[in-house]
Structure 1
């Protein structure tokens, strides 16, 4: 019997616990490709793939908050991107109105194939479905590719910035906060 179904359509959906290892490995590849070599090396040395897999499995199966979501972009039944959506985490956030994209990554070999756009739209739809009216996103100040992608989708800087990094301050990353309106016109 011949199957008439073709390849699975590229899509975005809620992550499954069994995909935690794929998400962890993808996150490590993105860190390695996007961060400065010394920063990537320090971060990757600080946490093992097994520990990251366990953390993602817990985040997917037992989210830390009621409106915490892990989304995955899938192509040919393979995870090619992931994102998290959460209530706004900043002290100036209105927990009822402000959602946040906490993580967002697309596997470098899978970029420029629509996965990022599908993932971004799914983040907005998920935040909207969770009742948020505005979305925020902390992005690397030096990540011009992501900032340009988000600007084209209507995200704009709100004037906030921060520096994050390791406790020993050996790793420092400068970020700016973007926001967008989630209301449907």
Structure 2
């Protein structure tokens, strides 16, 4: 039986994180992103991941099954621009809000609890940094990710943003919830 685990990423993990991001985006978000997903340059994506792994305010986690990296999650303090209301006002807990900037599990490793373990580990890390609440953004058409976050008690807060890929626009919903997660059966989570 192989062991599943989550650990902090190092720069040695950057090639696998890059591979997972590019392959998952092409598979899961190809329709939403259009041809823009094919213009991503692996070296540039890797450079961005190296910066994220080395950034002192960011925690990058990887999910592993046996010796294989199967997913990743990036978490840190939520910038004011991410937590602000549409009118720019900040909630009272803005300085105690963490951001899950990305959480991806490679589709072929899905439904094994990796997404739940990644989110649970990231939530614990954010709590250690003083956060009490978390937010993330999910593409409105991504029903699997929306169901996953709802399963842990995170829900849309009514804030929407539109991203322009140059070819089409993508509507994202801001999702929020407590960092005191209760992952009773992470092996059945929809995202993973």
- Tell me whether 1:55 sits opposite 2:48 in the alignment: yes
- Tell me whether 1:23 sits opposite 2:17 in the alignment: yes
2:6–2:117 contact (8 Å) kept in structure 1? yes
The alignment covers a number of residue pairs equal to: 173
Q: Give the TM-score of the pair, scaled to structure 1.
A: 0.85
List runs of 5+ in structure 2 lacking aligned partners.
Answer: 85-89, 183-192
Describe the shift of the 1:163–1:151 C-alpha distance in structure 2 as closer, same or farther (beyond 3 A).
same
Describe the shift of the 1:30–1:40 C-alpha distance in structure 2 as closer, same or farther (beyond 3 A).
farther
Tell me how far apart the structure 1 counterparts of residues 67 and 50 of structure 2 sit (CA, whole Å).
Answer: 18
- Tell me whether 1:178 sits opposite 2:162 in the alignment: no
Relative contact order (C-alpha < 8 Å, sep 6+): which is higher? 2
Q: Kindly state the Cα deviation for residue 179 of structure 1 after the two structures are TM-superposed.
A: 0.6
List runs of 5+ in structure 1 lacking aligned partners.
Answer: 1-5
Residues 142-164 of structure 1 show CA distances to partners (whole Å, capped at 9, x for unaligned) of 00111011101110111101111
Q: Give the TM-score of the pair, scaled to structure 2.
A: 0.83
- Name 1:32's counterpart in structure 2: 26
| Bigger Rg, structure 1 or 2 | 1
What's the secondary structure of 1:96's corresponding residue?
Answer: helix
Greater shift, 173-182 or 92-101, is seen at 92-101
Residues 14-39 of structure 1 show CA distances to partners (whole Å, capped at 9, x for unaligned) of 10101101000100111011114372
